[in-house]
Amino acid sequence: MSFKFEKLIVWQKAVDLSADIHELTRTFPKDELFILTAQIKRAADSIALNIAEGSTGQSNAEFNKFLGYALRSDIEVVSCLYLAKKRSLIAEESFLKLYQQCEEVLAMINGLRNSLK
């Protein structure tokens, strides 16, 4: 049996982004564990979780609301990436790779939201 959200490419990309963020945070210093590490991981996980939760057969308006939460979480990840870069916790190359993933997920969320109208 499969769930509706598992077929959504945007959900799959969000899961990939979350996995990449998790790998990144493994390099963060211990003093960031309960600060930036926890925040960026929660935000990244929240993208996929909100897409999945919103797709549960509710109305398009309800799905759109959850996609809005996912979009905000994606933007939160971007802001955390900037903080990590400013604190010299992330190299420019990694920053750009993850930033581009966030842009791609954001565009896909917006596309899905537009298709629900």
What averages of pLDDT result for each successive group of 10 residues across the chain (117 residues)?
90 98 96 95 98 91 96 98 97 98 98 93
Other CB atoms within 10 Å distance of the CB of residue 117: 7
* d(C-alpha 117, C-alpha 39), whole Å: 32
pTM above 0.85, yes or no: yes
Look at residue 1 in the predicted model and tell me its pLDDT.
53
Q: Which CATH fold would you assign to the domain 4-115?
A: de novo design (two linked rop proteins) (1.20.1440)
**82 φψ region: left (φ > 0), alpha (ψ -120 to 50), beta (else):** alpha
Domain parsing of the chain, residue ranges: 4-115
Look at residue 85 in the predicted model and tell me its pLDDT.
97
